[in-house]
Structure 1
């Protein structure tokens, strides 16, 4: 291919090969990639549009939906566009600066995503366990502050990854068997000692997500304790329904993350293309399914989305 006219030893570039062993199927693989990305964009932008237009939705829970939508859009965009360029146009070259930038935005997005899920769990705890004080404890301003704290935390944890890599001397082999610049995949291209990279890349995600999961578990433990004190089955069902969407989002977010992280470092017996497919599913599925889950499980949001969708269809019909 023409791309390999650029020698891998070029000190200003890397080469992303896509999914090794499945190069002949890249065009076919691009179909679920692009479809998932388009569905993700449509769903998340619809959430942002509807919440922005409807004053009745300007409350903490829906502001958190918007934070999650923005995070999902930025995370998926930072990865999918380059992957599609590889699949469609064989544009496999990426500059070192572009590679490090992609690493930063991807990992900052994943840390921010986890922070939003923690805040959502706290929101559900206050709404269920302390409903009379909900409006005073969780105001829109308070949610904005929590979002800012989450963003600062994401930047602080993600920034060392590209900084550590920028100090590494890279070998002549600059071909990365991946669809995007994964931190460890790039670190393995180094001729130097990557012990710190390995430790930081493994410990920090588990510390961040482990602490977040602990806080989420604590919130749900208190919720369950409060609900069990009430004998009404209707209250139990209503409480469960208000938490279902958040639980579903966690189930499609955390398990793939931990599985991908562990297999990438310790699953030497797993085929490379399986590693890469799992790594891509980790960010493709949640970003696509999150707006669908919240739209399906949140009655008010579902009704507003339906209203604007019908209005758009009617306007389109009149124009035709």
Structure 2
């Protein structure tokens, strides 16, 4: 039986660097080591403080949305039900990564068990797909509310909203399910150090000493298919919304509605662009600095959960009625 190298037995007591990648020799480790943000070790403290502040804002904002909608009967409608689904998804999405990331920065707690790593991988991708699907549902709700205001209450009934929500959840859970099972089947015999702050799917399988084309093609297909279809449906919805906006009677109302709807569309772009960049750069652009890649991968998991409560919750109150059916009623 091969003895565990000295450097591995005491890795949790030592700082980690990219040079450690070639210092290991083992098969199928029971734990992985999360490196954090490579080449930015000196700024980990400042990044951690900023991340903690952003995480706190995300928690407070999304819990506030849930509390207000629950306690205010006038908000018990499709738009706010979807907003609650988005808030819950954001809470799970940020909590699946940030606590572990902060423990890396603050306590040097870099180890994560193999099964826990695969579980984290699954939930990160699952909640990301859910978020994208809910944003599509919200765009559809706004399309019906603005373009067909008299039919809104008959189209988007409570059972229909529940059905859409269930479909989004099942779609995300099923389409992401093969990812951890594919990652689990590979042998890992070179290193157990993941140059990331969390168990990103491709960052993990790239450590396998086997051909990972199945993982690569599947995750790329999912990213393009899911994001591509969601972008298409959201673009289609907002195209119809913009046509309705420009037919509104006064310039002031058109400007307010266009501004709020534009902000909502920006939230979706802030989510999907970094996500697509993270997915595609793993495969096609080897010249992207690793620390930049990791930062972008963290941005798309942290920034939208902060912006969503502001844009969808506070935005309509700041800009008047906003992207709402009341403009046309």
TM-score (norm 1): 0.88
1:211 aligns with 2:237: no
1:171 aligns with 2:189: yes
Give per-residue Cα distances to partners, 1:28-80, cap 9 Å, x unaligned: 22101111101100000000011111111111111111111111110110011
Residues 292/229 of structure 1: CA separation in 2 closer, same or farther (3 Å cut):
closer
Counterpart residue number, 1:89: 107
CA distance in 1, matches of 2:11, 2:191: 17
Gaps of 5+ in 1: 304-320
Matches within 5 A, 1:189-268: 189-229=207-247, 232-237=250-255, 239-241=257-259, 243-268=261-286
Give per-residue Cα distances to partners, 1:230-257, cap 9 Å, x unaligned: 5543553354255244223213212222
Counterpart residue number, 2:309: 291
Q: Secondary structure at the match of 1:212?
A: helix
Give per-residue Cα distances to partners, 1:67-113, cap 9 Å, x unaligned: 11111110110011111111111111111100000011000011000
- Tell me how large the CA RMSD over aligned residues is: 2.3
Equivalent residue in structure 1 for 2:12, among 3, 8, 12:
3
Q: Secondary structure at the match of 2:33?
A: strand
Does the Cα contact within 8 Å between 1:169 and 1:192 map onto a contact in 2?
yes
Residues 12/241 of structure 1: CA separation in 2 closer, same or farther (3 Å cut):
same
- The structure that is helix-richer by fraction is 1
Counterpart residue number, 1:43: 61
Counterpart residue number, 1:145: 163
Counterpart residue number, 2:132: 114
Does the Cα contact within 8 Å between 1:18 and 1:87 map onto a contact in 2?
yes
Shift of 1:142: 1.3
CA distance in 2, matches of 1:14, 1:188: 13
1:66 aligns with 2:84: yes
Q: Secondary structure at the match of 2:209?
A: coil
1:16 aligns with 2:25: no
Shift of 1:219: 1.3
CA distance in 2, matches of 1:135, 1:45: 27
Moved more, 139-148 or 216-225: 216-225
How many residues are aligned here? 303
Does the Cα contact within 8 Å between 2:139 and 2:238 map onto a contact in 1?
yes
Q: Secondary structure at the match of 2:282?
A: helix
Matches within 5 A, 1:181-196: 181-196=199-214
Does the Cα contact within 8 Å between 2:256 and 2:320 map onto a contact in 1?
no
CA distance in 2, matches of 1:280, 1:302: 33
Counterpart residue number, 1:310: none
Gaps of 5+ in 2: 1-9, 15-23, 322-329
CA distance in 2, matches of 1:34, 1:80: 8
CA distance in 1, matches of 2:82, 2:134: 7
